[in-house]
């Protein structure tokens, strides 16, 4: 019973954070590993994806109802992410992802420094691309981050938000809305693989999904009420925590 409440609270917190800026996996997945230390990692990761896709989908719908989503970017990015996340999930069964553990904190640190230095970064929604160029860049971002999510995963939501601000000129709120749609595609692709390989605990995943949904509804409303400034601040907090966590993991691996 205690484990149930712990996992429920973790899923709620993950849904709330993920809905605003991504990074909910920082909360949910480590909690699952702590509660089930002897369970196969692939099964925990697959079950985590099952819970996450519900929370992310609800957040995406909430944004779509209240924020003008750039579908010209979201659609090609999501389609590319769908294909490449599945490819990444397949490749990780063949190759080691240890090098990603070393590189991740370095890349995240660069993202944090850039965001700190650019005080007006993501404060104004001013798209800088259109037409074929916009769609080509969206395909490239979706493919790259989709593959990363399938192959490794930590920080996917934060990377998406950063890139949609930096590459496309979106504000943090608009970037977060598009990121949710791409994240749904990533989770769906990974679920196909994990479901096919039998690495899912359906009852646990669906139970945690309910808590994720509640957290996602609250998180998306908070983001829309408080705007891009709030999302930017939480983005920096999540990225900072990711740097510490991934740096510690990389040090242990090294």
Predicted pLDDT of residue 195? 86
* Predicted confidence band of residue 60 (pLDDT cuts 50, 70, 90): very high
Separation between Cα atoms, residue 206 and residue 228, nearest integer Å: 31
Predicted pLDDT of residue 16? 92
What are the pLDDT digits (tens) for 148-169?
Answer: 988 877 788 889 999 999 999 9
pTM for this predicted structure: 0.86
Predicted pLDDT of residue 166? 93
Who has greater pLDDT, 15 or 100? 15
What are the pLDDT digits (tens) for 97-145?
Answer: 677 778 878 888 888 888 888 877 777 888 898 899 999 999 999 999 9
Q: Which of 85-89, 93-97, 100-104 has the highest mean pLDDT?
A: 85-89
Q: In the 8-state DSSP scheme, what is residue 179?
A: H
For 64-73, 96-105, 162-171, 189-198, which range has the lowest pLDDT when averaged over its residues? Answer: 96-105
Cα–Cα–Cα angle for 70, 52, 14, nearest 5°? 95
Number of helices and strands (H, E) in the chain? Answer: 9, 0
Whether 1 shows a pLDDT value over 70: the answer reads no
Whether 226 shows a pLDDT value over 80: the answer reads yes
Average per-residue pLDDT for the chain: 88
Please compute the mean of the pLDDT values over residues 180-196 and round it to a whole number. Answer: 90
Domain boundaries, the chain: 2-253
Predicted pLDDT of residue 252? 76
Residue 39: C-alpha distances to residues 24, 46, 174 (Å) = 21, 12, 38
Q: Is 238 exposed, middle or buried (0-12, 13-18, 19+ CB in 10 A)?
A: buried
* Predicted confidence band of residue 254 (pLDDT cuts 50, 70, 90): low
Whether 2 shows a pLDDT value over 80: the answer reads no
């Amino acid at each position: 019973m205690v484990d149930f409440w712990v996992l429920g609270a973790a899923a709620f917190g993950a849904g709330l954070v993920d809905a605003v800026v991504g990074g909910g996996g920082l909360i949910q997945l480590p909690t699952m590993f702590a509660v089930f230390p002897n369970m196969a990692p692939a099964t925990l990761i697959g079950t985590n994806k099952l819970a996450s896709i519900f929370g992310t989908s609800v957040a995406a719908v909430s944004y779509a109802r209240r924020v003008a989503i750039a579908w010209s970017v979201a659609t090609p990015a999501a389609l590319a992410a769908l294909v490449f996340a599945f490819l990444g999930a397949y490749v990780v069964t063949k190759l080691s992802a240890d090098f990603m553990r070393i590189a991740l904190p370095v890349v995240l640190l660069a993202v944090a420094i850039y965001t700190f230095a650019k005080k007006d970064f993501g404060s104004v929604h001013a798209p800088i691309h259109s037409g074929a160029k916009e769609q080509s860049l969206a395909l490239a971002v979706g493919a790259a981050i989709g593959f990363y999510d399938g192959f490794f995963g930590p920080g996917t939501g934060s990377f998406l938000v950063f890139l949609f601000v930096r590459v496309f000129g979106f504000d943090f709120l608009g970037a977060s809305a598009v990121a949710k749609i791409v994240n749904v595609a990533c989770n769906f692709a990974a679920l196909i693989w994990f479901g096919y390989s039998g690495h899912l605990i359906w009852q646990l995943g669906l139970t945690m999904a309910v808590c994720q949904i509640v957290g996602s509804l609250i998180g998306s409303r908070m983001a829309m009420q408080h705007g891009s400034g709030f999302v930017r601040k939480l983005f920096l907090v999540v990225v900072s925590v990711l740097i510490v966590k991934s740096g510690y993991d990389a040090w242990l691996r090294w």
